[in-house]
Amino acid sequence: MKKEDFIYASSICCSTWINGFKKPLNVHVARILIVKLDEIGDMVNAVPVFQELKKKYPAASQTLWCKPFVKSLMEPMPAIDHIVLSTKELSGKYDLIIELRGTFESIGYALLHPPQYRLDRASIRLKNKLNKGVHPHEVFTNLQIIAPLLNEIPSEPSILLSFSPSDENIAQQFLVQNQINRFAVLHCGARKKLRQWKEANFIQAANYLKKEHALDIIFAGDETDIPMVSRMQAALDFKSYSVANSFSLSAFGALCKQAQVFLGNESGPLHIAAASGCSVLGLFGPGEPKVFYPWGAKAHFLHEVLECNPCDQINCKYPNNTCMDRISVAAVQEKLKPTISQ
């Protein structure tokens, strides 16, 4: 059994032991702990859970247990009252524990400090597997977890991130100092190499956005993307800008909020941009866009489907012509035309 499967099995046993025959609607709720020890995009897709729980229990205190690197992104969210990064920061019992993505440590905490009721992702994952392997979008999977607490799951949940005044100011100062008005944000990196569209393609897309739509180009990324961003900036015959590894996730979101368009690979920044309200075009290859496509009315994506999709994103069946390679620059340009905000 894989470690992840063992965690899921343990989580189901934990919830069964805690809940017994109790019904969640009969539980008095004053304190809620939400466990989401996951990546950036996964955290963004969990935002409707925080919002729905706050609607259901407006007087209850919501504590989010998350990974350190997403803390700054979640801190401005009005539905979240406290954020913790480890069990050392937790105090006492919670009435509800919602395990959106946990670990053995979070399961152990629930067993040592049993809440009145516990809901977990593992049970929904098992249900979906038994249901002919149905995998809804991650937004709905998260909402399915808390469905027993709600009268109904919203049919069109929205995701709109909040940003602190200081982060809004950082973004605005960057634009003012560089005399940038209308602009596009390009994120060319990805956690897995097989998710990356070629640098040469992004260069052509940058030229198109600048020369056909008069948009300034701002490159984004983390520390590992800096060399790639430098190469692309050097290849352009006009001045471009970079915020690679210089903005927090929240400040990056505040910047995207003002952009005319975001173009990027399947990644956490793609989901942040979509949740900022920006028009986005996401490029998908070996992943599962039906499960992880960017959420929102102004979010779009391109995906070249092969018979091997989805794959393990490590060993490619077509290394010289990957699914990302098959997304043409022309297709991206055509998709960008109606995507760009005026």
Which tens digit of pLDDT belongs to each residue from 229-281? 999 999 999 999 999 999 999 999 999 999 999 999 999 999 999 999 999 99
| CA 90 vs CA 34, 76, 110, 244: distances in Å | 12, 20, 11, 34
CA–CA–CA angle 101, 103, 106 (5° rounding):
95
DSSP 197: P
Residues of the chain with CATH 3.40.50.2000: 165-339
Pick the CATH number of 3-149 from 3.30.1460, 1.10.3470, 3.40.50, 1.10.287: 3.40.50
Which band of pLDDT confidence, cut at 50, 70 and 90, is reported for residue 132? low
Q: Tell me the C-alpha distance between 326 and 170, whole Å.
A: 37
Q: How far is CA 111 from the centre of its chain?
A: 29
Nearest alpha carbon to residue 68 among 292, 248, 247: 248
Q: Tell me the C-alpha distance between 137 and 135, whole Å.
A: 7
- The first and second tokens of residue 77, run together, are 């969210």
Which whole number is the average pLDDT over 176-187?
98
Q: Tell me the C-alpha distance between 220 and 120, whole Å.
A: 34
Q: Which amino acid is at 283?
A: L
What is the CATH number assigned to the segment(s) 165-339? 3.40.50.2000
If you average pLDDT over every residue of the chain, what do you get? 92
Percent of the chain scoring above 70 in pLDDT? 98
Q: What is the pLDDT of residue 133?
A: 64
CA–CA–CA angle 93, 98, 102 (5° rounding):
100
- The first and second tokens of residue 98, run together, are 């919602």
Q: Tell me the C-alpha distance between 305 and 65, whole Å.
A: 36
Tell whether the model's pLDDT for residue 102 goes beyond 70. yes
Q: What is the pLDDT of residue 91?
A: 86
Q: Are strands 216-220 and 183-187 parallel, antiparallel or unpaired?
A: parallel
Strand partners, 329: none
pTM across the whole model: 0.94
Tell whether the model's pLDDT for residue 342 goes beyond 70. no
Which band of pLDDT confidence, cut at 50, 70 and 90, is reported for residue 318? confident
